Structure 1
Amino acid sequence: MFRALPVIALRTFESSARHLSFKLAAEELAVTPGAVSHQVRTLEEWLGVALFDRLPRGVRLTPKGEKLFHSLHSALADLAQVTSSLREVPVAGRLTVTTPSSFAALWLVPRLDRFYARHPEVNLRLDTSTTAVDLQQDASVDVAIRYGGGPYPDLYSPGGMVETFGVYGAPGRVEELMEQAAPSLISVHWNKSTLYRDSWRAWCEAAGKDWLPALALREYAEEMYALQAAIAGQGLVMASSILVADTEQRGLLKAARPDLQIAGGTYTVLCVPGRERHPPVQAFFDWLRGEWEATAP
């Protein structure tokens, strides 16, 4: 049944498709770029279809090439997981997680010591670049934590964390600021996003505060900076319940109206289907579920 499968050519294709480069695939497989090109051409001839478009600078998967890559990558990931599970000694693994920088700094990193304590064999690397990673194409990234509920039809998700928005201030100033007719208001502004401004409007309306639009918001590009400004007593901040949780628990910020929360978004955890069975990814997902349950309101 499997005797006719060109196993070497398939493995070479998977590496080439993952890197979108014959040169990088050759480095990974310790062969020459010419050998990689030959194996890919052999596979294309065997299938009778083109798997790559050859461009002046690099290669691009054809629709049939993308279909084969997704299936082949998942199958190889399953095979790697099974062979690792058969070893008597657990195999240490590298785990790369891409996440928004504020989520990493304010929620994930403060909790990672508990992950390391449970899984010292896993070497976890955080990628907080602002460019969204295409998990289907970049196999160097195992897990993505993205802001927004999707949909993500081509990816696997074990779940996510739903936030709400509230107003917070330094404990020594929050009551004073709430009584002012025009307190300083601190917010976050993302490119082309009105999420925080809309949350301020909704909160002020629900609280019966006539603070907008007369006042200009003091806006920051990252949540961590907005929280620091509020901790320093510079005003009231609109903050995500997820991102402010540790700061509030340490007594650095206090909710102005604990009873008043505005609906927010979701931090969704994702990976390529099949990779959730890879031991480091499975360990990370299991740990995340425990942290979600422990911090859920």
Structure 2
Amino acid sequence: MFASLPLTALRAFESASRLLSFKAAAEELAVTPTAISHQIRALESWLGLSLFERLPRQVRLTEGGERLFRTLHGAFLDVAQSVDTLRPQRSGASLTISTTAAFAALWLVPRLGRFYARHPDISVRLDTHCEVIDLHQDASVDLVLRYSLDDYPNLFGLCLFDEAFGVYGSPEQVALARGRVPTLISVRWHNSKLYAHGWEAWCAQSGESWLQGQPAVREYDEEHYALQAAIAGQGLVLASNILVSQSVASGLLEGYRSDIQVEGAGYSALCVPGRERHPPVRAFFAWLQEEARLSGLVPRSQASSARDEQRQIT
């Protein structure tokens, strides 16, 4: 059945497609760029179609090449994972997760102990760089935990919960705010599309006139810095109900007029289709689902299963 498949050429194609470089594929497979080029030319001749557009100093997949890559990459992942489970010298599994520094520090890391207690043989490595990761090109990352307004069809994903923004402060600051205009703590949002003019939206809903005149405003580059400022009693912070949940549960912060919430976007866990079957990834997905249920922060779209199928946040 498989005798006619050009496996060497298919492996060269998968590497070149994932890295979008014949030279990088050659380095990965320990051959010359000329050998990669010959293998891909032979594969194109065998298929009767072009797989790459050859551009100056780069290559780009054609529509047919993109279709083949998605199928082939998932198939190679399955084979690699199956072989890995049979190797007797395995000393433990590893899992690389990409997410934001704020989500890692304020939601994920405080809960990771429960994952380790259940799966002591899985080692989790967190990548909290802000750069957008293309999971189809970067095979070193197993899954991403991302926040976005957009839906994309190219990755397997699980919608965890939707975010809303409210006002929080230390118990003392919340009490003082009932009688005077507080100092306002905010974040310089890197992506204004995700949440723009936050304090204006909250004040419009609440009817508070805090923005009239020139209130004292403190801005921070990261959400966890803003929360630490609020915990230290420097004012009231406009913050995510998800990222603030641990501080509220511990009594460090409490909500001010908790009924006033401004809707945000959603958090999802995503991976390349096929990788969700890898045991460490499958275990992490199951654990995330349980933690999301325990948090009580169900997605607004929970009634529909469409968002629990394939989504991409990049």
Fold shared by both chains (TM-score > 0.5): yes
Q: CA distance change for structure 1 residues 95 and 88 in 2, over 3 Å: closer, same or farther?
A: same
Matches within 5 A, 1:111-126: 111-126=111-126
Q: Which string of whole-angstrom CA distances, capped at 9 and with x for unpartnered residues, describes residues 234-268 of structure 1? A: 11111101001112222221212233333222112
For residues 194 and 121 of structure 1, what CA distance do their matches in structure 2 show?
40
Q: CA distance change for structure 1 residues 23 and 194 in 2, over 3 Å: closer, same or farther?
A: closer
For the 8 Å contact 2:149–2:194, the answer to whether it is kept is no
Question: SS where residue 37 of structure 1 aligns?
Answer: helix
For residues 274 and 213 of structure 1, what CA distance do their matches in structure 2 show?
53
Aligned residues: 296
For residues 194 and 149 of structure 2, what CA distance do their matches in structure 1 show?
14
For residues 195 and 186 of structure 2, what CA distance do their matches in structure 1 show?
6
Q: Which string of whole-angstrom CA distances, capped at 9 and with x for unpartnered residues, describes residues 7-34 of structure 1? A: 1111121112112223332333233333
How far 1:117 sits from its partner (Å)? Answer: 2.6
| Structure 1 letter corresponding to 2:237 | V
Match in the other structure for 1:264: 264
Q: CA distance change for structure 1 residues 156 and 145 in 2, over 3 Å: closer, same or farther?
A: same
Matches within 5 A, 1:211-230: 211-216=210-215, 217-230=217-230
For residues 63 and 212 of structure 2, what CA distance do their matches in structure 1 show?
50
1:283 to 2:289 alignment: no
For the 8 Å contact 2:99–2:144, the answer to whether it is kept is yes
For residues 59 and 91 of structure 1, what CA distance do their matches in structure 2 show?
39
Question: SS where residue 202 of structure 2 aligns?
Answer: helix
Q: CA distance change for structure 1 residues 268 and 213 in 2, over 3 Å: closer, same or farther?
A: farther
Question: SS where residue 259 of structure 2 aligns?
Answer: coil
Match in the other structure for 2:208: 209
For residues 288 and 254 of structure 2, what CA distance do their matches in structure 1 show?
26
How far 1:289 sits from its partner (Å)? Answer: 0.8
Q: CA distance change for structure 1 residues 146 and 256 in 2, over 3 Å: closer, same or farther?
A: same
- Report sequence identity in percent: 56
Q: CA distance change for structure 1 residues 199 and 230 in 2, over 3 Å: closer, same or farther?
A: same
Q: Which runs of 5+ in 1 are unaligned?
A: none
Match in the other structure for 2:254: 254
Q: Which string of whole-angstrom CA distances, capped at 9 and with x for unpartnered residues, describes residues 143-165 of structure 1? A: 12221242111221122221221
For residues 85 and 125 of structure 2, what CA distance do their matches in structure 1 show?
23
Question: SS where residue 172 of structure 1 aligns?
Answer: helix
For the 8 Å contact 1:92–1:122, the answer to whether it is kept is yes
For residues 275 and 107 of structure 2, what CA distance do their matches in structure 1 show?
24
Q: TM-score, normalising length from structure 2?
A: 0.85
For the 8 Å contact 1:170–1:232, the answer to whether it is kept is yes
Q: CA distance change for structure 1 residues 213 and 52 in 2, over 3 Å: closer, same or farther?
A: farther
Match in the other structure for 1:187: 186
Q: Which string of whole-angstrom CA distances, capped at 9 and with x for unpartnered residues, describes residues 39-79 of structure 1? A: 22221221122222334434332222212111111122223
Q: CA distance change for structure 1 residues 55 and 65 in 2, over 3 Å: closer, same or farther?
A: same
Q: What RMSD, in angstroms, separates the aligned Cα atoms of the two structures? A: 2.4
| Structure 1 letter corresponding to 2:57 | R
Question: SS where residue 190 of structure 1 aligns?
Answer: coil
Q: Which runs of 5+ in 2 are unaligned?
A: 298-314
For residues 194 and 21 of structure 1, what CA distance do their matches in structure 2 show?
33
